[in-house]
Amino acid sequence: MIIKPSIRSNFFTNAHPLGCKQNIINQIQEAKMLPKFQGPKNVLIIGGSSGYGLASRIALAYGADANTISVSFENEPKGSKTGSAGWWNNIYFQQLAKETNHIHKDFIGDAFSPDMKQKVVNYIKGHVGKIDLVIYSLASGGRLNYQTNELIRSHIKTIGEDAIGKTIDIVKKEIYDLTVTSANEQEIIDTVYVMGGSDWYDWMKILDESEVLNQQAKTISYTYIGGPTTEKIYRGGTLGKAKEDLEKHSQIIHEMMQKKYQGEALISSSKAVTTKASVFIPQMTIYVSCLYDVMTRHHVHESILKHKYRLFSDMVYGNQRILDEQGRVRLDHLEMDPKIQEETIRLMTTSTNEELLSLEGTHMFLREFYQINGFEFEEINYEEDVPLDHLSQLIPN
């Protein structure tokens, strides 16, 4: 099968398996170039198949020689459907990481479900003993409430008044205005239910009650703070409310971790990177593009792998932790540097749409947006037949 990008309303409906493999190869190569550090032995990642969860997995598997267990929700290939990028990321991570001679296990299914939590606990007991680090890196549009059987959806909305901002049509490579309406009370509650901290808490509770956490165990989840240009829609909107809830839960979890394990629960504010959802958040694509442009020019741009490697080597297990007054780990300090912010805002507000589209930062953003689905890698010949039937026999371990 020849696989070309299939994009509907700015959303990829397919992925290129060999491009996904290239993405894993590149991140592993980057990780191998970085010095090893003393880190956790056994790591559980909720949401380890893409984005920040995947980069964390690779950084720890190669940087700290960790065993990794990941839970993710991904689609397998079926008939003419290629399967999701995360499905292939899991397969190729498994294949390539065999060289580490460590345990790497994938669970595919709903992390919100009590059954999945129990399955993971059973596996930990049978195969790795106890966990040293739990990374909660879930991003989901919905969460099934297992008590009522109701599917609750999250919403990317403002609170108070509607907002208009620019985004990029990734097929036509054009900039257009995207309006986001304001949320009602229920939509705020629902978004907090899906993207807030209650499921992180549930995971930590079952891991604690099942006695599979090691002394000095740590857990971490990722928040985003950002600057004034994304404030109205992100931090001041429904997603911001969910992040406040996540941060609130980190304090509750921290007390338990400290008391019982002399461990800790952390929130890290990570840098804005290219993600599937970026194009649906007005201003986010333009902000990320301009930010990439400015940070690259100032030689402080980091790949997603390096960002997460630095989090663990310097700030979680090293002695270079930067905390804000609320105790959050500020891995985003390079993005939030006043000089970088000022220049990024200036670029965003004084450039015409044409100028924005021609920025190197915008090219980087668009390239990465395609690459997270396995497209636009120079190493891959996209005219070549992909033996999908054959590859479909592969399943993650």
Give 61 or 272: the residue with its C-beta nearer to ligand NAD.
272
> What does the alpha-carbon distance between residue 3 and residue 26 come to, in Å, rounded to a whole number?
21
Contacts of 343 (CB under 8 A, 6+ apart): 294
With CB under 6 A as the contact rule, the residue among 52, 200, 312, 317 that binds ligand NAD is 52
Question: Which residues are catalytically annotated?
Answer: 234
Question: Cβ 2 to ligand NAD, closest distance in Å?
Answer: 26
∠ CA(53), CA(58), CA(61), 5° rounding? 120
Q: Which positions from 177 through 196 interact with ligand NAD, judged by CB under 6 A?
A: none
Q: Is the dihedral of CA 303, 39, 41, 272 positive or negative?
A: negative
Q: State the nearest-atom distance from the C-beta of 390 to ligand NAD, in Å.
A: 24
Least distance in angstroms from the C-beta of 188 to ligand NAD: 16
When binding is defined by CB under 6 A, the residue of 12, 88, 112, 261 that contacts ligand NAD is 112
255-274 footprint of ligand NAD as x/- string (CB under 6 A) = ---------------x-xx-
Least gap, CB of 354 to ligand NAD (angstroms): 26
Least separation in angstroms between residue 290's CB and ligand NAD is: 14
Cβ-based neighbour number of residue 135 at 10 Å: 29
Identity of the amino acid at 87: W
Strands 163-169 and 174-180: what pairing? antiparallel
Q: Which of residues 91, 111, 253, 291 is near ligand NAD by CB under 6 A?
A: 111
The interface region with ligand NAD, picked from 51-59, 207-215, 251-259, 357-365 by CB under 6 A, is 51-59
Name which of residues 124 to 143 contact ligand NAD (CB under 6 A): 137-140
53 binds ligand NAD (CB under 6 A): yes
Query: Which range touches ligand NAD (CB under 6 A), out of 106-114, 176-184, 315-323, 386-394?
Result: 106-114
Residue from 219, 275, 313, 362 in contact with ligand NAD (CB under 6 A): 275
Which residues, numbered 64-83, are part of the site for ligand NAD (CB under 6 A)? 71-74
Residue closest to ligand NAD (Cβ): 51
Identify which of residues 28 and 261 has a Cβ nearer to ligand NAD in the complex: 28
Query: What is the contact mask toward ligand NAD in residues 201 to 240, using x (rule: CB under 6 A)?
Result: ---------------------xxx----------------
- What's the closest the beta carbon of residue 393 comes to ligand NAD, in angstroms? 21
296 makes contact with ligand NAD (CB under 6 A): no
What is the chain's alpha carbon radius of gyration, rounded to the nearest angstrom?
20
Binding string, residues 3-42; x marks residues near ligand NAD by CB under 6 A = ----------------------------------------
Nearer to ligand NAD, 18 or 111 (CB): 111
In whole angstroms, the minimum distance from the beta carbon of 223 to ligand NAD comes to 6
Judged by the rule CB under 6 A, the positions of this chain that interact with ligand NAD are 47-53, 71-74, 86, 110-112, 137-140, 222-224, 270, 272-273, 275-276
